[in-house]
Amino acid sequence: MIQDLKEEYGNIFEEELINEIVQVGTFKEVQEGYKFMEIGDYIRGMPLLISGVIKILREDEDGDELLLYYLEKGDTCSMTMACCMGDKKSEIRAVAETDAKLIMIPIQKMEEWTGKYKSWRNFVFNSYHVRLNELLSTLDNIAFQKMDERLIGYLKEKARVTKDNIIHSTHQDIAYDLHSSRVVISRLLKKLEEMGKIKLHRNYLEILDL
Amino acid sequence: MIQDLKEEYGNIFEEELINEIVQVGTFKEVQEGYKFMEIGDYIRGMPLLISGVIKILREDEDGDELLLYYLEKGDTCSMTMACCMGDKKSEIRAVAETDAKLIMIPIQKMEEWTGKYKSWRNFVFNSYHVRLNELLSTLDNIAFQKMDERLIGYLKEKARVTKDNIIHSTHQDIAYDLHSSRVVISRLLKKLEEMGKIKLHRNYLEILDL
DNA sequence: CGGCTTATGTAACCAATGTTACAATACTAA
DNA sequence: TTAGTATTGTAACATTGGTTACATAAGCCG
């Protein structure tokens, strides 16, 4: 754990802070599909992602989903932080998109470290900053783009975070993430295939030239 | 200015911090329609809103707008903070929705105070927190609601922040904020009028029972 | 008053997306 | 192997929202 921590966070956190993290943090290794957090859950701790990808989803009252963004190594969940502050329930769902390693920090430490360590403060501010912009760009996509463009963006982003030009998703999976319907996604994917941009298979698809 | 400041922020900031703000902040009084910030502008300072309402807009590359949320007294602009951090350009446009009073803080002080004053730190964190949730809820509206529901929500919110059941907007104004077209908004407003929820006039409309 | 501008009402039409229904195919487990 | 299930393809249709076009009305200013 110390190894991983130093590798990912060594250059941004002071030695002393790293030591504290080692003492109070708990190492966690989870499999793809593991659900970290559900909407309405009380926050247990704050995650520092070491490796892997976590996807953050929003859901409306009918259970319709929408992918907000991915967390990658070096990221933390600002939503979690935002929730800690107000001692509130989670507004989002967090699911491991790939196998992942992370360190959970007890939420009490957040406030303490914020006064104590400048590097921690910067890290927290920076996370908020990044996440606000991420949310903004998600909002842009939904507000200003049509579904075909959103689909292309989704495939690119997914390929980027998983470092794999093969997208291991069914059409239904994609439809959920984009808050659309399976038929619509199948239709658009078929068009992309006809344009030579992707190749469709059962349960996965290849990105050729997006 | 000291009067206003103490009234709005006296109970959340230490005396000492208030004094610092008085020393380095500049008081500003602006009229409805005043444009604080344009997309691409470099951030000059951070606003502490004393009175009035500021609306925060997002724009896409074609110049299409979208209302993100309103800032009210006691609020500050997290987007601005987020931009300061990265020494970046503004991602949003800020326009006075009503006449407004505010204090501008030089951005250099942000970092300094964050280390020095716990109350400032909490304020900044809380602003991020509030803004993240605000953005989330904007996103919910766009992703999960239809235009008629969004329109009703818009009218309610606008009546709330302006404390006025008369909405002083043309249909075109509303269409811009909701990123829709005038004809669509006229159509939906007419429906709301037929349902007895609002009464339409030239250049304004009354909310009867939304 | 009479012409100009702005705001609103309305119809007809179009495009994008969502829905329903069903067939075809591929995989899975008994 | 076979029945059952999950996935994909596709057609037909509905709905929402956007576009174009034009009429009407209200306010403004000479």
Residue count of chain A: 210
Q: Which two tokens stand for residue B118?
A: 């716990």
Q: Tens digit of pLDDT for each residue in A1-16?
A: 778 888 889 999 999 9
Query: Which chain A residue has its CA at the smallest distance from B112's CA?
Result: A118
Among B143, B171, B198, identify where a domain stops: B143
Q: How far apart are CA B48 and CA B208, in angstroms?
A: 34
CB neighbour burial string for A137-170, b if at least 16 within 10 angstroms, e if fewer: ebbbebbbeeeeebbbbbbeebbebbeeeebebb
Per-residue pLDDT, averaged over A104-113, amounts to 88
Look at A144 and B179 and tell me if their CB atoms are within 8 Å: yes
Task: Work out the mean pLDDT of chain A and round it to a whole number.
Answer: 92
Shared-domain flag, residues A68 and A17: yes
CB A91 within 8 Å of CB B133: yes
Of A110 and A175, which is predicted with more confidence?
A175
> Does the beta carbon of B55 lie under 8 angstroms from any beta carbon of chain A?
no
Instruction: Indicate if A52 and A133 belong to the same structural domain.
Output: yes
Nucleotide nearest to B151 (CA to C1'): D17
Over range A182-210, report the average pLDDT.
96
Torsion of CA B99, B103, B105, B110, to 10 degrees: -100
One domain, residues B138 and B162:
no
Q: Which nucleotides of D are covered by protein (CB under 7 A)?
A: 6-12, 16-21, 26-27
Predicted confidence at residue B108, as pLDDT, reads 85
A117 and A163 assigned to the same domain: no
Does the distance separating the beta carbons of A128 and B82 come in below 8 Å?
yes
Give the model's pLDDT for residue A86.
62
Protein-proximal positions, strand C, CB < 7 A = 6-12, 16-21, 26-27
- Quick count: other Cβ atoms within 10 Å of Cβ B172? 11
pLDDT at A83 over 70: no
- Residue in this structure with the two tokens 């609306």, named with its chain if needed: B55
Q: Which domain holds residue B151?
A: 146-207
pLDDT at A204 over 90: yes
Q: How many domains does chain B have?
A: 2
On the question of pLDDT at B53 being above 70, the answer is yes
Residues B3, B145: Cα–Cα separation, whole Å = 43
Q: Are residues A126 and A160 in the same domain?
A: no
Evaluate if residue A84 carries a pLDDT over 70: no
Please list every residue in chain B whose beta carbon sits closer than 8 Å to the beta carbon of residue A85: 125-126, 129
Q: Which of B114, B136, B179 comes nearest A121 by C-beta? A: B114
- CB atoms closer than 10 angstroms to residue B132: 22
Residue A42's pLDDT band, with cuts at 50, 70 and 90, is confident
Q: Does B66 touch chain A (CB under 8 A)?
A: yes
CATH code of the domain in which B196 resides: 1.10.10.10
Rounded to whole angstroms, what are the CA distances from A67 to A46, A60, A130, A149, B143? Answer: 20, 12, 16, 15, 11
Query: Straight-line distance from CA B195 to C1' C29, in Å?
Result: 57
- On the question of pLDDT at A129 being above 80, the answer is yes
State which residue has its Cα closest to the C1' atom of D21. B183
Give the pLDDT score at A107.
Answer: 84
Looking at B111, B143, B175, which one is the last position of a domain? Answer: B143
Q: Quickly state the pLDDT bin for A140 (edges 50, 70, 90).
A: very high
